Amino acid sequence: MEGVQTARAAGSPVEYTAWLLGEQGRACRVLGSQLYADLLSWAAADLRAAGPTLDVLDGYLDEPQSSVLALRLLGAAHALALTGQAPGLAAYYPSAGGTASPGPAGADAWAALRQTLTEHRSSIRAWLRRPPQTNEVGRAAALLGGLRHLAAEARLPVRLVEVGASAGLNLRADHFRVAGDCGQFGPESSPVVLAGGWQGASPPEGPVEIVARTGGDLAPIDPASPEGGLILTAYVWPDQGVRLRRLRGALEVARAVPADLRRESATATLARTALADGTWTVLWHSILRQYLDRAQRAELAEGVAALGAAATRSARFAYLYLEQSRAGGCPVTLTTWPGGRKRVLGVAPPHGLPVTWQP
């Protein structure tokens, strides 16, 4: 937060937005995408030089950091590459059959992206109005481990509720397979394999039975539709083949396993959530809080507290989440009611893999 305030205070909207692009590029490098790191570095310089990046982002130069403008920009271009509308750019995107970032510091790939920004300005600007949609399947490893802890506490069926669910892919997590150094879980035939997903101490043994799946999102995506599949794929970084394979497998699962997904706020999802005898009602979210303002965070906390207060030994409630911590990493945090027992089960990176479980 201090970095954002400093950047805003230090210069013009152009300079602030160039800083945002650079910060996202550094994050992409840490998370394994050298291609996007290089492209965002070039885009930041092009913005300062009043190139096509400035023309495309005109009107978006005062976006908050939480809007992830850089990823919306790159997602728009990726969609064009995936659909064959930007063949020059596709030549550098492995997701579209190309080769990642040849040339010094991705100069050739940047030249192709710069041309795409020029030729497809209107399409890219239309995409910028979308909220970012990264329904990262790797985060399901944290969810599944947390559900195993619940089964050890009380072996009851699970009614799973997700706020900020995007396309609801992780509502089908019990149909994914985790393969890690400290345990295996899930069907061997699953098209989604979270390889190396569990490290450290193995989550407790026990079956996980999900009997209801529901969630909400301000802009939900139908994962069974071609348009929904394109949006989700476009937000995966094109040089990260493992993530792309996980997503494509999860889309296959979503077509076979239904889930109730509604267009609504987190507050509305909480308002319609009620506990039921003989079950765990599990409220889950992952990398959501950064998109909520202070009032929305307070409403989420109040809704969780109300559900916790209503819990009984026969109608239990659990609050499970994977969110970024100022101390570093993303703790997997679980609170259960009755009793309100809160504990950190493990820690993971933002994309979810691997989860390192605590003893």
Tell me the pLDDT tens digit for each residue of 211-226: 999 999 999 999 999 9
Residue 9 has pLDDT above 70, yes or no: no
307: amino acid identity, one letter: L
* CATH number of domain containing 274: 3.40.50
pLDDT digits (tens, 9 = 90+) for 29-61: 999 999 999 999 999 999 999 999 999 999 999
Give the CA distances from residue 69 to residues 43, 84, 125, 158, 254, in Å, rounded to whole numbers and listed in that order: 12, 23, 11, 36, 28
Position 1 confidence tier, pLDDT thresholds 50, 70, 90: very low
In the numeric block, which tokens belong to residue 230? 């394109």
Pair 121, 157 in one domain: no
Say yes or no: 145 and 290 in one domain: yes
Supply 205's token pair.
């043994």
Are 81 and 159 part of one and the same domain?
A: no
102 and 147 in a common domain: no
Reading the block at residue 275, the tokens are 């506990």
On whether both 61 and 158 belong to a single domain, the answer is no
- How far apart CA 289 and CA 321 sit, in angstroms, is 10
* pLDDT, mean over the chain: 94
The last residue of a domain, from among 127, 161, 186: 127
In a domain, 132, yes or no: no
Domain-located, residue 62: yes
Cα distance between residue 164 and residue 182, in whole Å: 29
Tell me what pLDDT residue 10 has: 58
Domain that holds residue 103: 2-127
> How do residues 66-105 score in pLDDT, each as one tens digit?
899 999 999 999 999 999 999 999 999 999 999 987 778 8
Same domain flag for 114 and 34? yes
- Residue 355 and residue 359: Cα distance in Å, rounded? 13
Instruction: Return the percentage of the chain with pLDDT > 70, whole number.
Output: 97
d(CA 219, CA 164): 9
| 96 neighbors 90 (Cβ within 8 angstroms) | yes
pLDDT greater than 60 at residue 252: yes
Length of the chain: 359
Residue 96 lies in a domain: yes
